[in-house]
Amino acid sequence: MKRIVAAAFFLLVASCDQDRPLEPTHDVTNLDQTIQVHTYASKKSLNRAVAKLEQAPDYEVEGLAQWRMDAIGNVKRCDIHVVEPKSRMDRAQMETWGHELMHCIYGSYHREGER
């Protein structure tokens, strides 16, 4: 069957509402999926690459997760686009990497219009 590509774009600008329970659109905890990480040297190069993706957002991102589903709705792959950390102490990039990984596992959990 032909794969259906379901793209979801997310970014980390500030912080999500930490008191709100996680309400995932999918949950692939303990399931096999391929995660491919695309790294970029800067936020500018990240956003240049993201602009070329299918269904690209029309705003700048700090990071982006895009999951792909098969014809029956199972998540099979997730691509993460992030800036490469500058050091082992680059907490901002590490937070973004973790945030985008959460999107691969749990899908969309931002409120409508929230970034």
Query: Cα–Cα distance between 47 and 68 in angstroms, integer?
Result: 20
What's the structural domain count of the chain? 1
Range of the domain at 18: 1-115
Q: How far apart are CA 27 and CA 50, in angstroms?
A: 25
Per-residue pLDDT of the chain (115 residues; tens, 9 = 90+): 233 332 233 333 333 445 677 778 888 888 888 999 999 999 999 999 999 998 888 899 999 999 888 888 888 899 999 999 999 999 999 999 999 999 999 988 776 555 5
Q: How far is C-alpha 47 from the chain's CA centre?
A: 13
Report the 10 Å Cβ neighbour count for 56: 15
Q: How many CB atoms lie within 10 A of CB 14?
A: 7
What pTM, to 2 d.p., does this model score?
A: 0.76
